Structure 1
Amino acid sequence: MRPRTDTPCWIAVILSRPWLLPISRAALVSAFLLGGIQKLVDFNGAVSEQAHFGLQPAWLWAAAAIVVELGGSVLVIAGRCVWLGAGGLGVLTAVSMLVANNFWAQSGHDRFIATNAFFEHLGLIAGLVLVTIPFSSQAEPGITRRF
């Protein structure tokens, strides 16, 4: 017996396609992948960006961002240690939204823009959590889960 669902059959067929999950994971991390490549190609620009937001030592923050953006993206796309890749990207996103989108310290139009960006980043973090759930539900044999 299959569980009842309100998903139309034709939508369920689309969602069951094996290529949909890897393409969706790649789309989810595409901004990180592109950002990591851009920072790698223009490391001095990446260092300047970190310094602009007051993160010191800026070279270390830039290097960490590159490692997390590229490494985390590859892990999520490959479906390996997704919890680690998505977790790293989520933490990086949380730090950036607190530093760069501090809407509470702004006013007028700048506050409006920063508020939107803050909550867009929050939604991205939620997406990273959601992409991790299918992988975390497959517990290792012998491991007992406690909630």
Structure 2
Amino acid sequence: MSTPRFIDAILDWHPTWFLARLALSGAYLLGGVVKLTDWHGAVAEQAHFGMQPAALWAALTIAVELTGPALILSGRLVWLGAGMLGVFTLFAAITANAFWTMAPGSAERFGATNAFFEHLGLIGGFVLVALVAERERRRG
């Protein structure tokens, strides 16, 4: 079955590529800006998850959350930006959503399990963004 014309039109529309990358990386960009404007909150968040020294981890988080989306949205070094956010997302999922350490059957474990696998889905999205960008680059 062929793709409907209106879907082809949406997929061929040049802004769709940018909007898809913005949708995938926008939460990270916003998170970086919020942390940058609320340094004390960013440090407290890292301390909450046991990351020490918290200020160093806050600075690294801000750097990744701002640089990764900037690379993805600029269309330059997309593989690097996607890789940064993918690794960051995996690390964050393991740190913040360690469902395997929680009581079986608990609401906390249920929520953490869902969040963990949602993060894996985001990582898959970053891999796809890198693949599409590389294919577009090879097409020239």
Structures share a fold, TM > 0.5? yes
* Deviations, residues 1-52 of structure 1 (Å, cap 9, x unaligned): xxxx632222112111011000111111111011001110111111111111
Alignment pair present for 1:9 and 2:5: yes
What TM-score comes out, normalization by structure 1 length?
0.88
Structure number having the greater helix percentage? 2
Find the aligned partners of 1:28 and 1:65 in 2 and give their Cα distance.
17
Residue segments in structure 1 that go unaligned for 5+ positions in a row: 140-147
Letter in 2 for 1:131: V
* Deviations, residues 45-97 of structure 1 (Å, cap 9, x unaligned): 11111111111111111000000000111111111100111110111111100
Q: Which residue of 1 aligns with 2:52?
A: 56
| Corresponding residue to 2:125 among 104, 117, 127 | 127
Alignment pair present for 1:73 and 2:69: yes
Residue segments in structure 2 that go unaligned for 5+ positions in a row: none
Find the aligned partners of 1:83 and 1:14 in 2 and give their Cα distance.
24
Q: Which residue of 2 aligns with 1:109?
A: 107
Pairwise mapping of residues 15-94 of structure 1 onto structure 2 (< 5 A)? 15-94=11-90
What TM-score comes out, normalization by structure 2 length?
0.92
SS of 2:118's equivalent? helix
Find the aligned partners of 1:26 and 1:63 in 2 and give their Cα distance.
23
* Deviations, residues 70-125 of structure 1 (Å, cap 9, x unaligned): 01111111111001111101111111000000011112000000001001111001
Identity of aligned residues (%): 53
Large movers: runs of 4+ above 4 Å: none
Query: RMSD in angstroms over aligned alpha carbons?
Result: 1.6
Letter in 2 for 1:59: A
Number of residues paired by the alignment? 137
